[in-house]
Every structure is written in structure tokens, then in C-alpha cells.
Structure 1
Amino acid sequence: MTQHAALDTNAHRELRIDPRAGAARGDAVMATLTVPSEFRQVQAHYPILFRRDNPQDPFIAVALFGFENGENLFLDGEHWDARYRPLSIAIQPFLVGRPASGDGPGQVHIDLGHPRIAAGGEGIRLFDADGQATPYLEDIAEKLGALDEGYRASPAFFAALADHDLLEPFTLEVTLDDGSVNSLVGFHIIDEAKLRALDASTLGKLHADGHLMPMFMALASLSQLAGLVDRRNAKLSHG
């Protein structure tokens, strides 16, 4: 159960975090939220797909880790087998909190019910003996700021995709080495043909608004699907 609280120097002076990767620490997920401002880093390792839970809901972008719920093919015990972890995973168990009005600067909040909360004096401290933020917490705050800024800028990116009808449904069926079939349904990708067909003026406007590069990065990320299949086959071969 989540227990969100604003991070407080006094209340959380002795709190420690276990930064190691692992299924028991919340990393056993098929996908995680990603934002256009980090697509360049994400595309080097993970496919970027788009989805929404209901037709009336806005789209979100996700970095794909596996083919079924709870499967993260980048997890190897306590090792995350990629040089970059998407911000929404890297910042856990922290999050950005805001006033009830939604306005004003964000605050660093923490989920005290998250499995990364360390016990027994183990883990990394958030505050030093003088109550000052440790380098670890400063790094988390920087990542939180980047994620928050990227998330708040995302609606303009998705509006541009909608304005030009640039998302198309995506279904993938993969036959694995053991003969089993893995399917991905319910996702969308950028329609490359429609993007190529846009006139120079429209492309220039997308570029000026900062949307064109994330679109190219999302398209480039689809090459990582083959690597994901390889990881699934390797997992099967090792039992």
C-alpha cells in the first residue's frame, strides 16, 4: 500500500533507500512511463510505444521491457542490464508532489510503503548527520525535476501527434525459439508514412516546437524490438 509523504529533513533523517535493481524492489514491470524529453536516451535500449487505457483518455508513451505483465527482460537478479533506466523507474520510491490546486513548485515526496525503503540500517542515506541532502538525494531531485518538466511538456507533443493523425495501432506477434507465440496488442506507434508525407512547412513547425526529434527517436526505438525478442529467447534457453 502506498504511503505518500512530503520528504522532511527531521521526520526522515534516518531513512535509507535500497537502490539495487530487483523484482522484489518494484522492478518486475513490463513497461514504464517515459516522456519525450528523454526519448533520445530511452531509444538506445528500449522500444517506445504509445497507449491509452480508454478511447477518451490521453495517450502516454512507455518504454517496453517485456511481452507480458510482470516481465522485465532487463532484470538479471540485482543487475539492470542497460546503461540507462527511464526516469519514472530511476526515481522510485520518490515522486513529485504539488499543492491541491495543482499550482506552485513541486515538492519531493516519498512513498514510505515502497519496497525500496531499506530496513535495519542498510541502504543509502537521504540526509547526512547535519540534515543536509546527500549526493544521492540531490541526484534524485534532479531526476525528479527532469521527469516533471518532461511530463508537463508532454501534452503539446501528443497534441501535435493528434493534429496530424500520426499514431497508428500496432500489433506484434513473435514466434519464439520454443514455438510459443508472444503477442503485443493495444499499443500504437508513430505512422512513419504519414510523417514522411508532411510538407516542409509542417515539418519545420514541428521541429521549431521541439516535437520532430522525439518523433524520430520513437521511430528509431522500434529497432530495439528485435533485441527484446532475443532477450526473451535467451531467458527461455536458460530456463
Structure 2
Amino acid sequence: MTAHQLLGSDRHRDLRVRAERGAALGDAVMTSLVVPAEFRRVQDEYPILFRMNQERTDFVALALFGFENGENLFLKGDRWDARYRPLALAIQPFLIGHAAPDSDVRQVHVDTASPRISGDGEGIRVFDGDGRPTPYLEEVAELLGELDAGYRESAAFFAALRQHNLLEPFTLEIELDDGSINRLVGYHAIDEQKLAALGPDALGALHGEGHLMPIFMAVASLGRIAELVARKNQRNADG
């Protein structure tokens, strides 16, 4: 359940947010939405895969944290064991809203049903005593702007992938040290053979449109799968 509200100093003067990490705070997730603009930072830590959106109208990009629903191998108690967290997670419990269904005016909304909303006086204040945004809220607003811009720019990126038929189904089957099998199905990855076969004109166009770098970052990120498997084996060994 969610309960989105337009954020305002009058209504949310005393709002506090729990910014620490934890499964109870919504961090026990297998994947997170990522946008091409952050692929360079994401690929330093996580594999990047692609999947059809819920409406099955287009693809979205996802950072992979585990191999099962609810599994985050980067979450260790109240600590996130990576240098970078995707924007879609870093901004919670806030989100971008619209002034009206057809409006281009962006607004900051808050999900008041989020477990990150503090009800015990703990957490980081969103507004100060005079109703002004705190440095925490100003930082979140910057991240929201970056995520919103990246999301709007991603439509052209996925259109380019479709134009050059650069996505292929990706299925992964891994045998872990304890003999168990983990499978990933329903995902896509960059087709490296088709990428390598593109001519100079196509590559030049992709580069000129800013799409070539995130494509290469997505390809490079698949090297992180071995590290993810190592994390899974270690977690199993630790019980």
C-alpha cells in the first residue's frame, strides 16, 4: 500500500525520515530501477539487466542485487555494502508527482505509508522549525531531479536499442557451492554480437545521441555477476 501526498511545510512540518538501511525499511529487494544516466556508477557495483515494464509496452533497466525475490546480497543488517545506491532507492520515500495528469509541472511527493516515515520522533527532519527545507530535503530534491531527467531521457535510449535490435533474452543458471541451482529468467541483456556488427554510421549515431556509453556500461556490468555469485555463496556459508 502507498499513500502519496504533495509535500508541503504546512502539512509535513514535523515529518521525519529514517535514512538508515534495513530490510524492514524496504531495502530487501532483488532489483532496482536504474536510468542510463547513472549506468557508469551502477556498473561499478551491480549487473545491469533489462526487462519489460509492467504494461509490457517498453523495457526498463534494473540493477541486480540477488537471485530471488526479496534477496539483497548487498544488505548486511543495517549496512548497505556498496559505494553507490541507485537513485530510485536513494530518494525513498519521496517521488516525483505531477500537478495534473497531463501537466509537465513536477512536484515533490512523499509516500506517507512508507516504513521510512518515522512515527516516534526519530529520523531526519524534512523541514526545520520555520518550515524551510532542511539540507537533507535539498539533497533529496537534487536526486529527484536527476532521476526524473534520466527517466525522461531513457525513452530515446530504449528506442535506439529497439532500432538496432540490441537486446537479446538473457537466462542464467548458476550452481552454487552447496549444490543448489539459482536461475534468472525473463530478463534481457545487450547482444554483444549485434553491437560488434554495427557499422560506423550506426555507431556514430549512437555516440552522437549519447547512447553508446551507457550501452558499453551495461555490457561491462555483466562482469559483476561473478561477484554476486560469490556474495550468495558467502551468505549461504554464513547461514
How far has the Cα of 1:106 moved from its partner? 0.8
Aligned residues: 239
Q: Secondary structure, in 3 states, of the residue corresponding to 2:71?
A: coil
1:141 corresponds in structure 2 to: 141
CA–CA distance in 2 between the matches of 1:55 and 1:222?
A: 26
Where does the alignment leave 5 or more consecutive residues of structure 2 unmatched?
none
The question of whether the paired residues in 1 share the 8 Å contact of 2:128 and 2:134 is answered with yes
1:152 corresponds in structure 2 to: 152
Q: Secondary structure, in 3 states, of the residue corresponding to 1:222?
A: helix
What aligned pairs does 1:99-178 form with structure 2 within 5 A after superposition? 99-178=99-178
CA–CA distance in 1 between the matches of 2:2 and 2:54?
A: 24
Q: Please provide the CA RMSD for this pair.
A: 1.1
Q: Secondary structure, in 3 states, of the residue corresponding to 1:46?
A: coil
Cα deviation code 1:29-67 (max 9, x no counterpart): 100100000000000000000001579421000000000
Q: So what's the TM-score if we normalise by structure 1? A: 0.98
1:58 corresponds in structure 2 to: 58
Q: Secondary structure, in 3 states, of the residue corresponding to 1:97?
A: strand
What aligned pairs does 1:38-117 form with structure 2 within 5 A after superposition? 38-53=38-53, 56-117=56-117
4+ residue stretches of structure 1 with deviation over 3 A? Answer: 53-56
| Segment drifting more, 51-60 vs 228-237 | 51-60
CA–CA distance in 1 between the matches of 2:103 and 2:163?
A: 27
CA–CA distance in 2 between the matches of 1:77 and 1:138?
A: 28
Where does the alignment leave 5 or more consecutive residues of structure 1 unmatched?
none
Cα deviation code 1:122-163 (max 9, x no counterpart): 000001111111111001000000000000111100000000
CA–CA distance in 2 between the matches of 1:151 and 1:7?
A: 21
1:20 equivalent to 2:20? Answer yes
**How many percent identity over aligned positions?**
61
What aligned pairs does 1:169-188 form with structure 2 within 5 A after superposition? 169-188=169-188
The amino acid across from 1:156 in the alignment is A
Q: Secondary structure, in 3 states, of the residue corresponding to 1:41?
A: helix
CA–CA distance in 2 between the matches of 1:236 and 1:129?
A: 47
How far has the Cα of 1:103 moved from its partner? 2.4
The amino acid across from 1:5 in the alignment is Q
The amino acid across from 1:144 in the alignment is L
Q: Alpha carbons of 1:112 and 1:214: their partners in 2 closer, same or farther (altered >3 Å)?
A: same
Cα deviation code 1:42-93 (max 9, x no counterpart): 0000000000157942100000000010000000000000010000011010
Q: Alpha carbons of 1:115 and 1:6: their partners in 2 closer, same or farther (altered >3 Å)?
A: same
CA–CA distance in 2 between the matches of 1:206 and 1:102?
A: 31
2:215 corresponds in structure 1 to: 215
CA–CA distance in 2 between the matches of 1:103 and 1:117?
A: 28
| Segment drifting more, 96-105 vs 14-23 | 96-105
Q: Secondary structure, in 3 states, of the residue corresponding to 2:154?
A: helix
How far has the Cα of 1:201 moved from its partner? 1.0
1:200 corresponds in structure 2 to: 200
